[in-house]
């Protein structure tokens, strides 16, 4: 129960790493806000949390849209009265090199993976400051450190998440907000499959 009394938003919590994180946080006592663009998958995660004795709500969220990110943060505080933890996990993937990558594909990958992390942080940090601090965990990737063949947009997006993490950590340390980045390797999730 290391997270008892805490309120946590997990983006991309409908499946994979996000769902596993949401379930773990709930088992550790957090009230979890399941944020995902897929309503059915998000509702399934909430159901799993509730079956395990935890507390959760679902907020349908496209993290690449400012209005959705702002509504997610507002709904969290309206429901639970505070916001302690944000896990920026939502992400998408595309396999292509720089020549094969379309402009739309580039914009979509960076929109969800990098802009989404920026927007969710932008709207959650002020709520954390009001509560005296908080924690942000950004999910990067080994691809953001070493680069992996034929996934240029994904590699760039995850490199950006690492840089965003460093900048945000420095900018908000004085507000008692800790910001870290986890960079997993290949993980067996629906996205990878």
DSSP strand E in the chain: where?
Answer: 7-11, 31-36, 55-60, 85-88, 134-139, 177-182
> Which residue in 80, 93, 123, 154 is the catalytic one?
154
In whole angstroms, give the CA distance from residue 130 to residue 21: 25
Nearest to 171 by CA among 114, 129, 117, 115: 129
Answer yes or no: are the C-beta atoms of 145 and 92 closer than 8 Å: no
Nearest to 60 by CA among 52, 70, 72: 72
Q: Is 154 assigned a catalytic role?
A: yes
Query: At 59, phi and psi to the nearest 5?
Result: -125, 110
In whole angstroms, give the CA distance from residue 136 to residue 170: 13
Give me the active site residues, please: 154
């Amino acid at each position: 129960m290391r997270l008892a009394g805490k309120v946590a938003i997990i983006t991309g919590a409908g499946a994979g790493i996000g769902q596993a994180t949401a379930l773990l946080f709930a088992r550790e006592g957090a009230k979890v806000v399941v944020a995902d663009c897929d309503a059915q998958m998000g509702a399934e995660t909430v159901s799993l949390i509730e079956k395990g004795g935890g507390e959760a709500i679902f907020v349908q969220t496209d993290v690449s849209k400012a209005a959705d990110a702002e509504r997610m943060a507002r709904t969290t505080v309206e429901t639970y009265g505070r916001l302690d933890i944000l896990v920026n996990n939502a992400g998408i993937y595309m396999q292509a090199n720089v020549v094969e990558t379309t402009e739309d594909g580039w914009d979509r990958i960076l929109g969800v993976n990098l802009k989404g992390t920026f927007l969710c942080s932008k709207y959650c940090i002020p709520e954390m400051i009001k509560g005296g601090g908080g924690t942000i965990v950004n999910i990067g990737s080994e691809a953001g450190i070493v680069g992996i063949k034929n996934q240029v947009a994904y590699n760039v997006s995850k490199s950006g998440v690492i840089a965003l993490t460093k900048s945000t950590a420095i900018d908000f340390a004085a507000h008692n907000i800790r910001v870290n980045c986890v960079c997993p390797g290949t993980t067996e999730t629906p996205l990878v499959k």
